[in-house]
């Protein structure tokens, strides 16, 4: 059954707060019947703010929140008292979230760090009270500024998973099985295509309390970059991975061709993905004897590659070592 808790894109209507109006007020006391102007300024309107939260992994909490309105600033008061500011609306999102203007597609914000905040819509400024308009010519101004109006728009918020390693392969390549073996993640595993319908994250432990994050992306098929299968919806999650781990099963009819198709789909989607470090893992290698491995080795692409088996454990340690070498020093260990 698909994990319906994973939501990676929502569209919401946001409105910042309106600024409060400045006050027209004059000082009136028992022995000062005709005091000067003392109207206070209006409070500013509330902002719409995006904030990163490392404990979150989905946009599920925003799925049914279609409208978000910040508070309006209060009007200024006499005795030069400033009106209260409107309440800000803080939208907490997972790391890797991007906010775009829904109509133009323009990027408004990108959240990459815990606690990082970005103002999507600024609240209106409060108006100035009549105190500010007193001059030698006009000692008793009977006017003040109105507050600035609010700003409103539809915003698309989308999540691109932040992970160190992204698993890339056709359906049934063994991606979910590998993730379940090297981490505590429990993705659904079955012997049929498209078992994985949503990305899964796992923390892979390494030596000396070190670890890295691995992401299992739903299987890509030929034509995914043009909208076929599930690939187009989830290809954007690969953009944030430091390493692309290509996985091709040993029982594939043409391992070399399968790898070329995967590369072509990623390149068609975003050519910049070709600049990332790449590793090729031939999975289910427990089915192969050494002679077959030697034959397959001759046709593998010229990138770091190894034979692994999530069932027997073959090559798993070597794979983790290879991944960590790059993550520990990406400049020295270039795989391209």
Beta bridge partners of 37: 26
For residues 307 and 250, the answer to whether their CB atoms sit within 8 Å is yes
Sorted by where each begins, the domain ranges of the chain are 1-159, 165-328
Q: Is the dihedral of CA 192, 198, 199, 205 positive or negative?
A: negative
User: In CATH, which superfamily holds the domain spanning 1-159?
Assistant: GTP1/OBG domain (2.70.210.12)
pLDDT value at residue 93 = 93
Show the low-confidence residues of the chain (pLDDT under 50): 1-2, 187-197, 224, 227-231, 335-336
What is the CA angle 11-15-16, rounded to 5? 135
pLDDT value at residue 229 = 46
> Residue ranges of the alpha helices (H) in the chain?
175-182, 231-234, 255-269, 290-297, 316-328
Rounded Cα distance, 228 and 221, in Å: 7
CATH T-level topology, domain 165-328: Rossmann fold (3.40.50)
Rounded Cα distance, 46 and 84, in Å: 10
For residues 43 and 148, the answer to whether their CB atoms sit within 8 Å is no
- The whole-model pTM stands at 0.70
Rounded Cα distance, 191 and 169, in Å: 15
Residues 194-213: tens digit of each pLDDT: 444 467 778 888 888 888 88
Q: What one-character DSSP code corresponds to residue 26?
A: B
Rounded Cα distance, 50 and 119, in Å: 6
For residues 165 and 241, the answer to whether their CB atoms sit within 8 Å is yes
Rounded Cα distance, 268 and 36, in Å: 70
DSSP H helix total and E strand total for the chain: 5, 14
The owner of tokens 């991007």 is 98
């Amino acid at each position: 059954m698909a994990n319906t808790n994973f939501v990676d894109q929502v569209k919401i209507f946001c409105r910042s707060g309106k600024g409060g109006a400045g006050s027209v007020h004059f000082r009136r006391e028992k022995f000062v019947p005709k005091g000067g102007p003392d109207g206070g300024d209006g409070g500013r309107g509330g902002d719409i703010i995006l904030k990163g939260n490392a404990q979150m992994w989905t946009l599920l909490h925003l799925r049914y929140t279609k409208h978000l309105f910040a508070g309006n600033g209060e009007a200024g008061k006499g005795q030069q008292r400033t009106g209260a500011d409107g309440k800000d609306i803080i939208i907490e999102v997972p790391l890797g979230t991007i906010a775009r203007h829904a109509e133009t597609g323009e990027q408004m914000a990108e959240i990459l760090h815990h606690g990082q905040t970005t103002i999507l819509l600024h609240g209106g400024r409060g108006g100035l009270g009549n105190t500010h308009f007193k001059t030698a010519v006009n000692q008793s101004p009977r006017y003040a500024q109105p507050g600035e109006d609010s700003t409103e728009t539809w915003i698309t918020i989308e999540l691109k998973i932040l992970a160190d390693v992204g698993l890339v392969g056709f359906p049934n390549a063994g991606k979910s099985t590998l993730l379940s073996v090297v981490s505590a993640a429990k993705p659904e595993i079955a012997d049929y295509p498209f078992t994985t319908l949503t990305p899964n994250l796992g923390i892979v432990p390494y030596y000396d309390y070190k670890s890295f994050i691995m992401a299992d992306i739903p299987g890509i098929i030929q034509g995914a970059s043009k909208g076929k299968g599930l690939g187009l919806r989830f290809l954007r999650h690969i953009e944030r991975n430091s390493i692309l781990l290509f996985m091709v099963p040993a029982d594939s009819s043409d391992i070399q061709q399968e790898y070329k198709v995967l590369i072509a789909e990623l390149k068609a989607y975003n050519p910049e993905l070709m600049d990332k470090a790449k590793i090729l893992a031939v999975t289910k290698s427990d089915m192969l004897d050494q002679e077959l491995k030697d034959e397959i080795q001759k046709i593998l692409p010229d990138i770091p590659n190894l034979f692994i088996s999530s069932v027997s454990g073959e090559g798993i340690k070597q794979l983790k070592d290879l991944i960590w070498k790059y993550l520990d020093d990406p400049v020295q260990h270039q795989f391209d």
